[in-house]
Chains A and B, each alone.
Chain A
Amino acid sequence: MHTLNRRDLLKIAGLAGAAGVVGGPSAVANAARTALAAESGALQVLDWAGYGNDGGQAMFAQYVKQHPGNKPKFTYMTNEADALAKIQAGLKPDLFRPYVGWVEYFATSGLVQPWDTSLLTNFKHLNPFMVKAGQYAGKQYGIPDDWGLDAILYRTDKVKPKTNSWSLLYDERYKGKIAWFDDPVENFTIAGLLHGFKDPWNQSDAELAQSKAFLISKKHLVRTIWASETDLDQQFASGDVWIALAWPNDWVQMKAKKLPVVYMHPKEKPIAWVGMFMLLKGTPRPELAHAYVDAWSSAKSGKWLEDNYGYGHANTLAKPASSDLLKALQLTNPRAVALPNAYLDRNVPRRAVYAKAWDEVKAA
């Protein structure tokens, strides 16, 4: 039986204290639990809600079969910044899932290490374009997995867009029925696309100021800025919101509720994202982490993800059961996440400046 010595206790207290500064009592409990679990050797996964014990088991079934005695322990991240804050506060996951725009940031942060792709049996089936997007300096820091688009979801019985454009998110006719997504880069990029800026992901100070002023001037139209998909789905289903920047899964969920909805691709092009598994530097469980990611990379997992969440999957052999879904989300198009279909999210050199400006939009 594993017993705790004085050093263990001090470590847990330290982690709990650090987490407490950031996240309050629940974070203290999580940090303490994580520290204990790390000693037992369980794989530590930092992932988004819906990808863990609350619904994602089918996506890592292969891992569970191979390692029945080592159930992964999940900690949830609400976004990459939250993951970064948790890791800095002392959480020690073996792997986590930021999105493609953060690959370069994390690869250069010293927090992660490249994967050994020879340990991933499903790697050869992964979309080469997405595989390349997970590389930095020739090394495979990110293993592509789920992908999708950020576009506009709206109620066809309530909303009549003048044109298929991001401008629907700022349409004065629907004041109080619009929801934005709580992400600085996303909001400033869309504002930049609408303003025709040369590089919306790397706006100059003057362009950022213009985007900020634009977003502040339109904020009165917005009822909520959603951070959790569950919140958005609830607001949409209850009729509190008719127009939202949303993910494909929200379209699938609202269709399942028989709501008349359209997932509109704006003429300025949607923004595409690809989930990238990243391996933490110095992890004591690299083989388990590789086995876990290999499970997620399988065609079977991909099909489950497509059928249940409406997201695409990097495994090119994965095919959803519904041809409607396949067609609507272009799941068989190997370059669906790239131009001319969409802008793939990318590294933002001045992410901190974007975040500060976005905070000011919310506070204004």
Chain B
Amino acid sequence: MFFLAPIGIVAAYSFNALALPPSSPGFTTSAWRSFIHSSVYLRLFWKSVEMSLIVSALVVVVAFPLAYFLALSGTKRKYILLLVLIAPFLTSYLLRVLAWKVILGDQGVVNSFLAWTGARSPDHPISALLYSRFAVMLVLGYVWLPFVALPIFVSLESLDTRLLEAASDLGATRWQAFRRVTLPLTLPGIVAAFLFVFIPTVGEFITPSLVGGTSGYMYGNQIVDLFGTGFPDWETGSVLALFLLAVIAALTVVFSRFIQGRDAAPA
């Protein structure tokens, strides 16, 4: 009820079955048709997908060795280290994002350091560090890293280490054992971790509005703007929101079948 009813309301707005006064409601598919024919919205959607894919892939690549070390190194302090990894969650999301402004600004930590070392003139700081696509991807990666590390950690921890010993007994090198045993068995965890980042970041709007500037503007920002900036256009905003929901739902179905399929496959 609380999940489907709001979606139903948004769908009604997207077909103008509900409308903001002074407009009068009347079923039409015009907003959907303009969306499909609009290269602007679809291009922006693809830009956001591209940014999210890059962030998700990079974060998985960074998180995997961390989770691998924590789960398989046999250290007794692994849960303490895990706590350290998720410690940033103890502070506010906004505070963490804003802290990056202090680090990445033209007179921020990075540029001041470069100027101090003489690597860069103070009059010509690296401006692309903040208010750019790079800034959005960096901050999103930082924010979501623990979310990725956790599912990978869980799947690595549940790995039967006797399989690795068997592989080693049968003459496999460590790399071969990793590639043929560890990686396939932890793949569902990796895919889940990837989705954990991809799904929320593709519709992200807070981080790009704080550190994205004009070039880091994402699809989620456009939805927010359509609902409440300039002049409310809930019809088009609803179309964009539902399209995003549909794509995410489809991806989730595909990936969850993939994960279940692998789990159900005979060993």
Contacts and interface: CB of A to CB of B under 8 A. Distances in A.
Interface of A: 17, 20-23, 78-79, 81-82, 84-85, 88, 108-111, 176, 182-185, 219, 222-225, 227, 234, 238-240, 351-352, 354-356, 358-360, 362-364
A76 B101 CA distance: 25
A359 B226 contact: yes
A22 B234 CA distance: 9
Q: Which 4 A-B pairs have the closest CB atoms?
A: A355-B230, A355-B231, A184-B230, A363-B44
Given A21-B10, A362-B222, A224 B213 contact: yes
Contact of A224 (B5, B131, B230): B131
Interface in B1-26: 5-6, 9-10, 20-22
B105 interface: yes
A240 B104 CA distance: 10
8 contacts: A81-B230, A88-B21, A184-B230, A239-B107, A351-B230, A355-B231, A363-B40, A364-B40
A111 B22 CA distance: 9
Contact of A81 (B44, B127, B232): B232
A88 B233 CA distance: 12
A66 B125 CA distance: 55
Nearest to A350: B231
A185 B229 CA distance: 11
B214 A223 contact: yes
Interface string B220-236: 01100111111111101
Contacts of A110: 21-22
Given A20-B6, A88-B232, A240-B131, A109 B226 contact: no
Contacts of A23: 228
Contacts of B108: 238
A85 B105 contact: no
Given A227-B229, A354-B230, 19 more contacts: A21-B9, A23-B228, A85-B20, A85-B232, A111-B21, A184-B231, A219-B214, A223-B127, A223-B214, A224-B214, A238-B105, A239-B107, A356-B233, A359-B225, A359-B229, A359-B230, A362-B222, A363-B43, A363-B222
A223 B21 contact: no
B204 interface: no
Given A225-B214, A364-B40, A354 B231 contact: yes
A218 B108 CA distance: 27
B217 interface: yes
Nearest to B236: A356
A240 B265 CA distance: 55
Contacts of A360: 40
Given A21-B9, A238-B107, A183 B230 contact: yes
A239 B228 contact: no
Contacts of B227: 22, 85
B231 A82 contact: no
B230 A358 contact: yes
Contacts of A20: 6
Contact of A82 (B20, B221, B228, B236): B228
B134 interface: no
Contacts of B101: 234, 238
Nearest to A88: B20
Contacts of A82: 228-229
A223 B231 contact: no
Given A85-B227, A359-B226, A222 B214 contact: yes
A240 B222 contact: no
A337 B22 CA distance: 30
Contacts of A81: 228-232
A274 to B, nearest CB: 20
Interface in B65-108: 101, 105-108
B83 to A, nearest CB: 27
Contact of A352 (B41, B217, B233): B233
A235 to B, nearest CB: 8
A362 B217 contact: yes
B130 interface: yes
Nearest to B217: A362
Nearest to B45: A363
